[in-house]
Chains A and B, each alone.
Chain A
Amino acid sequence: MNLSLGPLLYYWSREDTFAFYEAAADWPVARVYLGETVCSRRHLLRLPDWLDVAEKLAAAGKEVVLSTQTLIESESDLKVLRKIVRDGRFLVEANEWGAVRLLSAANAPFIAGPTLNVYNPETLDVLAGLGARRWLPPVEVSRSALAALLEHAPDGMETEVFAYGKLPLAYSARCFTARHYNLPKDDCQFRCLDHADGLPLATREGKPFLTINGIQTQSAGVYNLINEIPSLRELGVACLRLSPQSRHMERVVKAFDAVLAGDTAAAAGLAKVMPGASVDGYWHGRAGLEHDAARNA
């Protein structure tokens, strides 16, 4: 089992983004997912910039995967998608079925991303036939639901699980960050740049609940399966996805790496560097915002 650095879900400055990936070249992750998956208005890095980052990480020995945009709305979104598929140097993660169509037409092996909604082995088998070689279940899928699926998974299919980070829960045409600032989406003034880990949303009694990230809504809680590594191994999961955060990402990666290497005590240090409370309800078949009280107590 090894580690993946998931796609950057937030909008950071060019300098911060480049610095993040320069550092990541030395982290103990086997692969890095790159590219803008949330909002087409985020343009500080264009596709050629991402490809430069990709080349550097590949040269540092990382497997590089280009992730496609999750919500495709316009012809210009499709243009970027086609360019990613045509480039052909790197594996691609398909995050909607238009990307699946283009990748399978190009005979390109691909990663089936978590928003393709694979909930059963039949659908995974459809994707395998089209060229998927690795897949991620939707983030709401529990351990037992994943186990039931994997009993009949197609041969040779690798499973990756979203194992750390604020959960990407929903996508909209509306930009909730622009809405917060009373700005139209088309003139959002790129306020996402001011919220390196998203904009916290709490209930009216002040309890953290969700995180606004442009058109994406995330959990406020940080999904954390570091204590579930034995059960993930038992299921035959091949990779764990760690979702980027603006600070202390190296410590997050190293904590997971240490636990993978058998140092279970390393899990305890994670709480100090998490940008929210730990949640793992989904993994246990409960509401996502719950956490395994017994273990965390």
Chain B
Amino acid sequence: MPLELVCPAGSLMALKAAIDNGADAVYMGFRDNTNARAFPGLNFDEAQAAEGLRYAHERGRKVLLALNTYPQSDTWQRWTGAVDRAAKLGMDAVILADAGLMRYAVKHHPKLRLHLSVQGSATSYEAVNFYREHFGVQRAVLPRVLSLPQVENVVKNTEVEIELFGFGGLCVMVEGRCLLSSYCTGESPNSAGVCSPAKSVQWKETSTGLESRLNGVLLDRYGKDEKAGYPTLCKGRFEVSGETYYALEEPTSLNTLDLLPEMLKMGIAAIKIEGRQRSPAYVTQVTRVWRAAIDAVKNNAESFTPAPAWMAELNKLSEGQSHTLGAYHRPWK
């Protein structure tokens, strides 16, 4: 079935919100740094994961487990233990980034379905097919860096299902290939499961405006009329050759509703909604819009145009109240 809707579940409430509003699958993480949203107060212990699985399976939906950080040598067993638990709980798939962990999963749980995480940084069919040949990976999530024709070229040259990010926070860098956060704070998505961690954030009201800092590094300064966003490192304003601007990326969200007909046509297996750190209310609203949009495009791709009400609803939820097609649309690059 093409264009499966895969929604974020940072908590049991968010999971139920996603399922109740039409997600085909949800993805979650365990409550530790084995996943790339290792935030305090987020994620699932084993009992909650079991309850989430029961809730989803009773309604014919799937649960995917993100184990998408890179296992560290001295705590390797934390990651293999998580794979074992995923298999025992009956997860529909695990989303992995690390080749060593994939080898472990194949050896010990040959029936467990494997997805290649976006953190695996596979941007070509040669890379995707590597994981297929060696570990039997069945689906790959592509980093948010390829244009749509480049995505199509991957789809045409692999039997691995391709999943794309459709909506939510926009990584401007190749996922899995960004160490900006650890350069500034000591912790990166790859090794600690966090980007621009909240514990390193400082806000300060000064005579020149509200300042946001990450581990002491000034990321931005906001005037009276400016709305301050979460200080994600790549979305700060910096000075380059005497000019101060968003040198890497504006605080904006990815929204690909416009591209749904093309994604359907090229055989994209699933659309992923970012945001395990977001509230159940957010998950409800985003899931509802995307369910309606995917149903509409499947019903009639030729005449599909995103309803203005959907776009308005999503823009309200977007970071910086604006959105972009990101790299799928060539001029963004």
In the complex, how many angstroms separate the beta carbon of A141 from the nearest chain B beta carbon?
8
| Stretch touching chain B among A42-50, A206-214, A269-277 | A206-214
Bound form: Cα–Cα A77–B191 in Å: 29
Contact A123 B100 (CB under 8 A): yes
Question: A282 within 8 Å of B by Cβ?
Answer: yes
Of the candidates B124, B127, B248, the one having the most CB atoms from chain A within 10 angstroms of its own CB is B124
Tell whether A212 pairs with B183 under 8 Å between CB atoms, given A71-B123, A207-B217: no
Interface-side segment among B87-95, B238-246, B271-279: B238-246
Please pick, from B98, B123, B127, B249, the residue contacting A101 in the complex, using a CB distance under 8 A: B127
Asked if residues B186 and A73 are in contact (CB atoms below 8 Å), the reply is: no
Decide if B218 is an interface residue (CB 8 Å cutoff): yes
B90-137 interface with A by 8 A CB criterion: 97-101, 103-104, 120-127, 129-131, 133-134
Does the CB pair B150–A73 fall under 8 Å? yes
Judge if A28 is at the interface, Cβ distance under 8 Å: no
What residues of A have a CB within 8 angstroms of the CB of B70 in the complex? 117, 119-120, 123
Q: Which residue of A lies closest to B133 (CB)?
A: A101
Q: Give the residue name and chain of the A residue nearest to B144 (CB).
A: A173
Would you give the shortest CB distance from B94 to chain A, in whole angstroms? 16
Chain B residues with Cβ below 8 Å from A201 are: 238-240, 247
Say whether A101 contacts B130, CB under 8 Å: yes
Contact of A170 among B73, B123, B179, B240 (CB under 8 A): B179
Interface of A is mostly: mixed
**Smallest CB–CB gap between A213 and chain B, Å?**
12
Query: CB-CB < 8 A to B243: which residues of A?
Result: 180
Partner of B184, one of A179, A186, A287: A287
Which of chain A's residues has its CB closest to B238's CB? Answer: A201
At the interface with chain B, which of A2-10, A145-153, A234-242, A259-267? Answer: A145-153
- Supposing A117-B70, A122-B71, A126-B99 touch, asked if A219 and B247 sit within 8 A by C-beta, the answer is no
Binds A, one of B17-25, B313-321, B324-332: B324-332
Main secondary structure of the interface of B (DSSP, over half): mixed
B-chain residues with CB within 8 Å of residue A123 when the two chains form the complex: 70, 98-101
- Nearest A residue to B188, CB-CB: A140
A126 to B153, CA, bound (A): 28
**Contact of A281 with B by CB under 8 A:** yes
In the complex, what residues of A have CB within 8 A of residue B239's CB?
201-204, 206
Chain B residues lying within 8 Å of A117, measured Cβ to Cβ, are 70, 97-98, 121, 176, 190
Binary A-proximity of B291-304 (CB < 8 A = 1, otherwise 0):
00000000000000
Residues in B with CB closer than 8 Å to A243 are: none
Measured between alpha carbons, how far is A204 from B179 in the docked complex, in Å?
21
Inter-subunit contact A173/B240 (CB<8 Å): no
CB–CB A287/B185 < 8 A: yes
| Residue in A126, A184, A205 whose CB lies within 8 Å of B331 | A184
Nearest CB on A from B68, distance (A): 11
How far apart are the CA atoms of A176 and B172 in the complex, in Å?
10
Q: Can you list 11 contacts pairing A with B, beta carbon distance less than 8 Å?
A: A71-B174, A73-B123, A73-B145, A96-B124, A98-B122, A115-B121, A120-B70, A151-B73, A170-B234, A203-B238, A204-B239
